Chain A
Amino acid sequence: METALISPAKAWVMGVPTVIFSVLIPLIGVAAFTYIIAKRLAPLVRAKPDPRLDRPIDRLKAMLLYAVGQYRQPRYMMAGVLHIILFAGFMILSLRSITLVVLGIQEGFVLPGLGGVVGHIYNVLKDIAATLVLIACIIAAVRRGIFQPERYDVPKRYGKNHTGEAVFVLMLISTLVTCDMLFEGTYVAAQLKKGISPEFVLPATGTWFAASFFSDSSFAVLQRVHLGAYYLHDLVFFFFLCFLPMGKHFHVITSLPNVFLMKLRKGVIKPVEWGVDESKLDELKSFGVKKFEDFTWKHMLDFYSCADCGRCSDQCPANAVKRPLSPRFISIKSRDYCFKNYPIRGEITPKDEMLIGTIFTEDEIWSCTTCGACEAECPIFIEYIDKIVDLRRGMVDEGMVPQSLQKPLKAIEKRGNPWGKMEKKRSEWVKALPETCEVKLFEQGDTADTLYFVDSITSYDDRMQKIAQATAKVLCAAGIDFGILGKDEKDSGNEVRRFGEEMLFQDLKSHNTEMIRETGVTRIVTSDPHALNALKNEYAGLPPVEHVSQTIVKAVSSGKLRLKPIEDVQKVYTYHDPCYLGRHNGIYEDPRKALDAIPGLRRVDMLKSRDRSFCCGGGGLMLFYEPEEEQRMGVLRVKMAQKAGANVIVTACPFCLVNMEDAIKVAGLEGKMEAIDLAELIERHIDRGEVEEQETGKSEVNPETQVA
């Protein structure tokens, strides 16, 4: 068959057959790439174990949805859409790139399956893809290079700005697609000149522009550009392949596996060491992450995968109030450290040094409230909480715990609550309840179907005791037979575990588990999402655990609990999603439904709600920690509520209530804004039958009048 131009497989330049380059470039490229990847795997083989191959079907589904489907990308619309175009373009053009590489060796090569009609369709598709990728690259480069969104900024203490690398890679990609356009465009132009009818080229694509541009050029020029474009593509392609593992573009290779290998169980902290049973923890020589190799291989893969997009830090409440923590740089600093100790060329030099004091600071690691906003945002499911907790375990093991946290930890060890209050006073809040509401005490041998697990703050704090009382009244009104553990209850330990004191957590867990099992209850209700999380996800062998908002919704829908119309129709309510109810346990709807069950209640959602909820400042031991920060998270949150047009913040967590009430005072919004717990609000609106029939009737009418 006559061809319009000489293919790179057959061409000679200055007496040398170019096919030599067509063979050598890929050979060298693939060899170098293999070597680089082998080097990059070196730290992973020295890392701690991390089993990640369970539930393969769920993993595959997640990978299809989040990695292939780019599901989380549009959460940041502009960047997300650009990324989807680039990613889809990459997927489509990868076949074209493989074809191109072989074309340099074998003229007229077609990938199996891409012949005939499919081939024609693919050709048009890849021209569209290449064109869109080029446009996306230009927009992205302008955005990164000129507009420089704040999110990508690198504060001085974290190292150099990464804009150069980002723009450089965009240029590489642009070069690749442009080369293909020129390679194909010159060929089409030559065919037209020779009167051979070319493959269909969709007008307005890059290839079409190239063909038009070169339509008047001589064969010599066409031939040169054709070959030049081919080898430039070949070189850039293999250079790019080897460049990927050098920085943030490693994600191009690692993110699909990273998503496949994601953490599937939420709300639970990884064990101290995978494969070591809780009863054998005492035998471990060291706890947590101290040196780099103490991370699990998956956590190292996370570091490799970080695309430096900054979404985690953009959502991080600690970062927002200028605490010395930015999750993005946990990944970036670790990766830089890893690359330094495991260089591509030269000797591997793992260092037996504490990461704290080297690349991290103590305050940085204590600053995290474990709210999970970063993890909910990361498009490729990089984990932060487990790493932070592992680093804390390492610090606890070395005794590096700030004095502000030592006291409450010791008090929990001695008294079962962080304030060191007397055990026997744990059930004192019950005294303020009316006689009509009986709270059984399992410690006195009472029996009941349901256990109300109160936890420390709600038991002891004089303001939070009101939540306990309201919860008890709601349970009474719903006709639930329940009791409490009283002095036999100890702190659930949700934060004890998250602050790295694993052995204390294990003690609390076994104590509470034993006490709960002795009661013989068939259900556990709690008003504290932190307790809910610990009991439901971290404890084992307990009856089902539910949050009081779920109990309320069930009682309302079964008709056992009837609610009166809203007391003050002027008020606008907003619901603040507690991290441990929402993000960690997926309970977003029940508290909203419970609120909407109060007839006439006007409710608005804040801009940041549900899985983008903004942490109030953290619970449990976080109340005792004295962070370095410019302002309180709660103050920012209260202002968000104000912006949403609300004047009452409803929470469903005692710690949120503490933080919100403080924040309202700090923000000077007293009188303009108030905070209340869901249980308290519901309790105020219990219809105990003293209202007339008419009004109860109203409550069954409909939700349309409510603002949602």
Chain B
Amino acid sequence: MEILVCVKRVPDTAENEIVVNSSGSDIERGDLVYSVNEWDNYAVEEAIQIRDRVGGSVTVVTVGDEESEEVLRREMAMGADKGILISDPAFEGSDGKGIASILKAEVEKGKYDLILTGAQADDGAAQVGGMLAAMLDLPFASLVNKIEIVNDKTIKVGREVEGGNQEMNEISLPCVLSIQTGINEPRYVGIRGIRKVASVEIPVHKAADLGIDPAKVGKAGAKVKKVDYFIPPAGKGAEILEGSSEEIADKLIELLKAKGGIK
């Protein structure tokens, strides 16, 4: 099975202190560390496991700048066979539809049975997977937490329905799936693994390579524009507990007791 996984490099929310910059247009990026978007990592692990079960290959692709190559290498160290970096100054500032159309062009260059994306990104809007499927005119399943390969034409996918129920759907190949975290336990990628793939060549595809009209993507083509970015003020009824971790814990317990949450 030929599998393509779309991944994204994002600031790691666990390892950064996110601060909005002074102009309010973005976050301070000077001291940030980046990693692969968590959902995408689950998608890659799932792809590798499917490949190991039924054969085929796993390709990881990302739209980004040259630094995004780092996340491709990490996913290749995990076990992906190939990486493709889609990078062009013309892509900067693309909205979700722009990214989906860039990915569509890449998908059409290859022959994939299964296209996976993460259900959403740390800094994203959970829109690319669905749009990509629509643009490709392929069946789509979202929030997938289980994949069973039936044969080379059909697979079964599951998703958790609100309330803790599980639903299974049959879907024909090729298709696009957006993957939920928890579908598997992604393997660890050590420094050694990354070094092993450090010298593997990663092709870079530009707008021209993919036959994309620069006017339809990037800032130029974006119909959705970010107009503000801020940390919301505490709303009514919300309270930020302050003090050392211990004091905070004590206050929290007090509050929970007062409201009857614990006895």
Contact = CB atoms under 8 A, between A and B. Distances in A.
Interface string A408-451: 01110111000011101000000000000000000000000000
Interface string A119-138: 00000000000000000000
Contacts of B246: 463
A410 B244 contact: no
Contact of A420 (B15, B195, B244): B15
Nearest to B185: A403
A2 interface: no
Nearest to B244: A462
Interface stretch (A167-175, A249-257, A392-400, A584-592): A392-400
Interface in A246-289: 281-282, 287
B33 A400 contact: no
A282 B17 CA distance: 34
Interface stretch (A21-29, A73-81, A373-381, A499-507): A499-507
A348 interface: no
A659 to B, nearest CB: 16
B190 A420 contact: no
B17 A400 contact: no
B15 A415 contact: yes
A400 to B, nearest CB: 7
Contacts of B185: 402-403
Interface string B5-34: 000000010111100000000000001010
B35 A400 contact: no
A647 to B, nearest CB: 21
A507 B15 contact: no
A422 B195 CA distance: 25
A504 B12 contact: no
A420 B78 contact: no
A507 B194 CA distance: 13
A411 B16 CA distance: 10
Contacts, number: 67
B33 A462 contact: no
B32 to A, nearest CB: 10
A503 B192 contact: yes
A463 B185 CA distance: 33
Interface string B135-158: 000000000000000000000000
A407 interface: yes
Contacts of B188: 396, 399-401, 405-406, 409
B191 interface: yes
Main SS at interface, chain A: helix
Given A401-B187, A414-B35, A462 B245 contact: yes
Main SS at interface, chain B: loop
B78 A399 contact: yes
B192 A407 contact: no
B35 to A, nearest CB: 7
Nearest to A661: B246
Contacts of B195: 282, 503
B134 interface: no
Q: Among the interface residues B185, B191, B246, which one has the most CB atoms of the partner chain A within 10 A?
A: B191
B168 interface: no
Contact of B187 (A400, A405, A504): A400
A507 B12 CA distance: 21
A493 to B, nearest CB: 12
B193 interface: yes
Contact count band on B: 20 to 34
B239 to A, nearest CB: 21
Contacts of B193: 397, 399
Contacts of A282: 192, 195-196
Interface string B179-193: 000000111111111
Nearest to A505: B191
Nearest to A419: B15
Contacts of B78: 399
Contacts of B196: 282
Interface in A302-337: none
B190 A501 contact: yes
Given A399-B78, A410-B35, A415-B33, A501 B191 contact: yes
A420 B191 contact: no
A399 B188 CA distance: 4
Given A403-B185, A407-B14, A462-B244, A414 B33 contact: yes
A504 B193 CA distance: 11
A463 to B, nearest CB: 8
Q: Among the interface residues B185, B188, B196, which one has the most CB atoms of the partner chain A within 10 A?
A: B188
A398 B33 CA distance: 25
Nearest to B192: A503
A287 B33 contact: no
B190 A397 contact: yes
A405 B186 CA distance: 12
Interface in B241-263: 244-246
A413 B191 CA distance: 8
A183 B189 CA distance: 69
Interface string A492-527: 000000000111100100000000000000000000
B192 A397 contact: yes
B190 A504 contact: yes
B172 to A, nearest CB: 32
B255 to A, nearest CB: 19
B31 A504 contact: no
A512 to B, nearest CB: 16
B180 to A, nearest CB: 15
A146 to B, nearest CB: 48
A503 B191 contact: yes
Interface string A169-186: 000000000000000000
Nearest to A395: B188
Q: Among the interface residues A397, A400, A402, A410, which one has the most CB atoms of the partner chain B within 10 A?
A: A410
Contacts of A415: 15, 33
Contacts of A411: 14-15
Contacts of B189: 399
A707 to B, nearest CB: 32
A502 B195 CA distance: 13
B192 A420 contact: no
Nearest to B33: A414
A413 B14 CA distance: 14
Nearest to B196: A282
Contacts of B31: 422, 424
A347 to B, nearest CB: 31
A699 B12 CA distance: 54
Contacts of B245: 462-463
A507 B17 CA distance: 25
A411 B248 CA distance: 25
Contacts of B191: 413, 501, 503-504, 507
A313 B191 CA distance: 34
A399 B194 CA distance: 12
A33 to B, nearest CB: 44
Contacts of B192: 281-282, 287, 397, 502-503
A403 B188 CA distance: 8
Interface string B46-77: 00000000000000000000000000000000
Given A414-B15, A420-B15, A462-B244, A399 B187 contact: yes
Contacts of B35: 410, 414
Contacts of B17: 422
Nearest to A399: B187
Contacts of A463: 244-246
A420 B187 contact: no
A244 to B, nearest CB: 42
Given A415-B33, A463-B244, 6 more contacts: A282-B195, A396-B190, A397-B192, A414-B12, A420-B15, A422-B16
Interface of A: 281-282, 287, 396-403, 405-407, 409-411, 413-415, 420-422, 424, 462-463, 501-504, 507
11 contacts: A396-B190, A397-B193, A399-B79, A399-B187, A402-B185, A403-B185, A407-B14, A421-B15, A463-B244, A463-B246, A502-B192
Task: Sort A-B residue pairs by CB-CB distance and give the 5 closest, nearest first.
Answer: A399-B187, A420-B15, A401-B188, A503-B191, A414-B33
